[in-house]
Amino acid sequence: MRITTTVNGTEHEVDDVWAGESLLYVLRERMGLPGSKNACEQGECGSCTVYLDGEPVCACLVAAGQAIGREVTTVEGLATEGELHPVQEAFVEAGAVQCGFCTPGLLVAAHDLLERVPDPSDLEIREALAGNLCRCTGYEKILDAVRLAAARQARP
Amino acid sequence: MRGRSGHSGPSVSTDAGTRPATTATTTPGRIGDSPLRPDGTLKVTGEFAYASDLWHDDMVWGVTLRSPHPHARIRGIDITEALTVPGVTAVLTADDVPGENAFGLEHADQPVLAVEFVRYEGEPVALVAADHPETARRAAARIRVEYEVLPAVTDPRHAMDDDAPAVHRPGNLVRHLQLRRGDQSVTAPVVVSLDVEVGMQDQAFLGPESGLAVPAEDGGVDLYVATQWLHVDQRQMCLALGMPPEKVRLHLAGVGGAFGGREDLSVHVHASLLALRTGKPVKMSYSREESFFGHVHRHPAWLTYEFGAERDGTLVYARARVLLDGGAYASSTAAVVGNAGTLGLGPYRIPNVAVDAYGVFTNNPPCGAMRGFGCVQAAFAHEALMDELADAVGLDPVTVRQRNGMREGDRNITGQLIDSAAPVAELLQIVADLPLPPQRDADADLRALPGSVGNTTHGEGVVRGVGYAVTYKNIGFSEGFDDYSTARVRLEMTGGEAVATVHTAAAEVGQGLITVEQQICRTELGVERVVVHPKNTAVGSGGSTSASRQTYVTGGAVQAACVAVRDVVLARAAASLGREVSQLRLDGEKIVGASGEVLTGLAEVLGEDAVEETREYRHRPTHAIDPETGQGDAHVQFAFSAHRAVVDVDVELGLVKVVALDTAQDVGKAINPDAVVGQIHGGSAQGMGLALMEEIVVTDGHVRNPSFTDYLIPTILDMPPMQVKVLEYADPHAPYGVRGVGEPPTISSGPAVAAAVRAACGRPLRRVPIRPEHITGT
């Protein structure tokens, strides 16, 4: 199967895709974009969260064929022209990154939250990120990072 | 800030949850600062290469066929059909292991691929390499293994029975630690006792076991792998591959968390065997389900404890029996028994003690290292019993612990002198004095209630409870282990700038060791730019990233190598300046005199040369304990922490919402205060997880929940805000006064949560994780 998908603004075309492959597998193993992570590959951990036509999804639960002709944005597409997005910057500065395996998915989820809710309450942050598991941080500094990013975006 | 600290009072008490983020560009980044981690930007852009991200031209995929039975004899293996699957490049069994078909951290008792017997569900039996992972999986399913299912030992409480089948010869006992101290016939006016059971916890690191093995022209192999100790992996690989170390080169790939679960080998030998057989690079990466079978777990435990005390709550004696299920292979079980036995009564002064700790073989999943091992299990027992004692003598939980709390100068239950700070009473007082969360509003948001948006209660039936716990943990390897780290530091001018390069094999697993290595180099060499060399076996062992030891031991090695480099530089400067070395120091790329005057530049002294030195660092030796009495100086350092948990419990439905989880910990010296707090947050979360939700359910030797759907770890909705207070009572025996940080919070948080739930629902709750039916009694 041939898959043609726009990823981070660039059209990617890959051939010989087995129909059982997920969007996550195709991104990671065929398109050279391993930023989205494979912590559970069953939609429980959120480490593979990407935008599919602007909606955050678990790339592991999307069959590669479902992404044909659609637009995907991954963690690799959050920075623009070498400048980190404020959410990325905040994760580094707040110490929200330890092993970092959950980080790509959390960044997309937090990015999506702040697009929808520019000044979220702590409960709103917790609810929005409840589908993203982190094993290292206990989430405290992830909350700090999202608060910091929200504050920075409010006062650019 | 520099050099060894004396033993002085606490200098930092930070509520780092509200600490403002630092800015990268102006941070000097020496010890005591919190510079940003050097891999942070790569990790937020998706560019950081974790082991499962690796890719190589012409690579093939390896998969493992595992045993479906907890105990069986292998009658035969037929790989013919698997080999016919198009795309398959190799199928290997035990016959294809060129060296000794055995590996193991402490004892090489586990086959690389099963031969004759399988001893647990999930034991590797065969390997397949193919051009696509699905092809490899389908081919593996076509390997025909004829099993004769054998009776399995699945209840560790009966593993030592005379009629129990032997998992290994000569029997099912891995280790019995016997400890006797003081008067064995002493009695006391107040006696409390209990039985506690602790379930099997999983490390649940998010990055699955993965590696890429690349066959080399010299007939050897380069393995890029996520691990906790490159050199102990190398030793085991050499044995199994039948190759010398120079042909088995390991490189640390990006590690997605570890927590003890990467101490034992996973894909290492398997991927290398396939690479050597096919002549192609081989990638292996476990699915989450396979990961649950592909690494050891935290030992489940059965604990029987008794305290005797005076009427004022002062402990007179303690008796304890601890049983740990080691599963099918030894792994770290002996060391876990060592900790449970020597530390298993907690940070208390107890004059008369009898402890028996046992680790046994069963046909359950192998158990080994996980953060805080031995102490985590025991703390649920000694802390529950301390609350019982408080009730029995009419004291509150804080006072009874403070009354019995260990102090500097005491001897612990193995007779070892506690020769640096032991602030048990102070840590408890700090958490007790922290502000409590506000009482719940009558119209509280559902998300703040037990059951959350499940809409199970609007506050009716919800009772608040508060619980306390305190712990201590050994730092570094114990009982006579030669525990050391190696560091190589190089200083040179590059493009007009002084650059230090630090090379260790010590695994960075997310905790921030690479940041600490940079901070030490900046502090000792006075240069800003420090490059962390990729971690590999081209330098001597860095020891294990476990036992909370790396900042201490590898930190000590980096410091020693820096000092050696500095000595060379200053000696050269002294010779050219005609001054005494003792009058010179190195700062900001300058050679500075006694009164701070700049004498010459580092560039002038170094010229085109690089100065490079390699040093090993060993902590003070530890010693084996006496086999009859368990007495001896088993450990090198102890770290203390206390937690206070506040919970809201829906006592009708058995649902728990943790409202606050506050802690105080002595870290000796915070090399990187922000990273210290990050460790404490994460460790606290893992302890809470064991108290409330995390358990690998094993019935008849079969794992029932190998997925993140059914094995639950805390989410951001489960975690409460955490206040963290950090004490810095320097340990005069350790580099910079540091004390290990990573493990204590995982030990004291869970028992505090359990105590809080007990306080809310009024039930004894003698098993963790606590399930709803335990709370409701239904």
A 110-139: CB under 8 A from B? 123, 125-127, 129-139
**How far is B732 from B430, CA to CA, in rounded Å?**
24
Residue holding tokens 């009874």?
B400
Cβ within 8 Å, pair B288-A90? no
Domain range A86-154, its CATH number among 3.90.1150.10, 3.40.50.720, 1.10.150.120, 3.30.70.1560: 1.10.150.120
Cβ within 8 Å, pair A137-B681? yes
| Every domain of chain A and the residues it spans | 3-77, 86-154
Give yes or no for B512 touching A (CB within 8 A): yes
Q: What's the rounded mean pLDDT across residues A75-91? A: 96
Order of strands, edge to edge, in the sheet holding B724-727? B462-475, B637-650, B655-666, B724-727
Domain at B484-618: CATH architecture: 2-Layer Sandwich (3.30)
Amino acid residing at B155: D
Half-sphere exposure of B361 (CA within 13 A, CB side): 22
Determine the distance in angstroms separating the CA of B182 from the nearest CA of chain A, rounded to an integer.
42
Give yes or no for A65 touching B (CB within 8 A): no
Which residues in chain A have their CB less than 8 angstroms from residue B715's CB? 130-133, 139
Determine the distance in angstroms separating the CA of A117 from the nearest CA of chain B, rounded to an integer.
18
Which residues in chain A have their CB less than 8 angstroms from residue B714's CB? 138-139
Domain range B51-150+209-285, its CATH number among 3.40.50.720, 1.10.530.10, 1.10.1740.10, 3.90.1170.50: 3.90.1170.50
Give yes or no for B47 touching A (CB within 8 A): yes
Give yes or no for B45 touching A (CB within 8 A): yes
Would you state the pLDDT for residue B409?
Answer: 98
Q: What is the mean pLDDT of each run of 10 residues along chain B (778 residues)?
A: 35 38 50 97 98 97 98 98 98 98 96 98 98 98 98 97 93 98 98 98 98 98 98 98 98 98 98 98 98 98 98 98 98 98 98 98 98 98 98 98 98 98 98 96 88 92 98 98 98 95 98 98 95 98 98 98 98 96 92 92 96 98 98 98 98 97 98 98 98 98 98 98 98 98 98 98 98 96
| Every domain of chain B and the residues it spans | 51-150+209-285, 297-478+624-776, 484-618
| Residue-wise burial string across B660-687, b where 16 or more C-beta atoms lie within 10 A, e elsewhere | bbbbbbbbbbbbbbbbbbbbbbbbbbbb
Cβ within 8 Å, pair A129-B21? no
Give yes or no for B674 touching A (CB within 8 A): yes
pLDDT band, residue A156 (cuts 50/70/90): low
CB B517 within 8 A of CB B25: no
Nearest by CB to B722, from A45, A136, A138: name it.
A138
**Alpha-carbon distances of A134 from A74, A130, B205, rounded to whole Å:** 19, 10, 9
Cβ within 8 Å, pair B44-A92? yes
* Alpha helix ranges (H) inside A20-102: 23-25, 86-93
Establish whether this prediction's ipTM goes over 0.85: yes
Average pLDDT, chain A: 97
Cβ within 8 Å, pair A139-B40? no
A 74-103: CB under 8 A from B? 74-76, 78-79, 84, 88-95, 97-103
- Interface mutation vs chain B, best among A28, A31, A38, most B CBs within 10 Å: A38
Cβ within 8 Å, pair A138-B287? no
Which residues in chain A have their CB less than 8 angstroms from residue B709's CB? 42, 44
**How far is B762 from B765, CA to CA, in rounded Å?**
9
Half-sphere exposure of B94 (CA within 13 A, CB side): 21
Which residues in chain A have their CB less than 8 angstroms from residue B287's CB? 41
Neighbours of B289 (CB within 10 A): 17
Domains B51-150+209-285 and B484-618 belong to one CATH topology: no
Q: Which fold has domain B297-478+624-776?
A: Aldehyde Oxidoreductase; domain 4 (3.30.365)
Cβ within 8 Å, pair A99-B713? no
Cβ within 8 Å, pair B206-A74? no
Tokens found for residue B530? 């420090």
**How far is B207 from A40, CA to CA, in rounded Å?**
9
Q: What's the rounded mean pLDDT across residues A119-145? A: 97
H or E element, residue B404: helix B397-404
Q: What CATH homologous superfamily does A3-77 map to?
A: Beta-grasp domain (3.10.20.30)
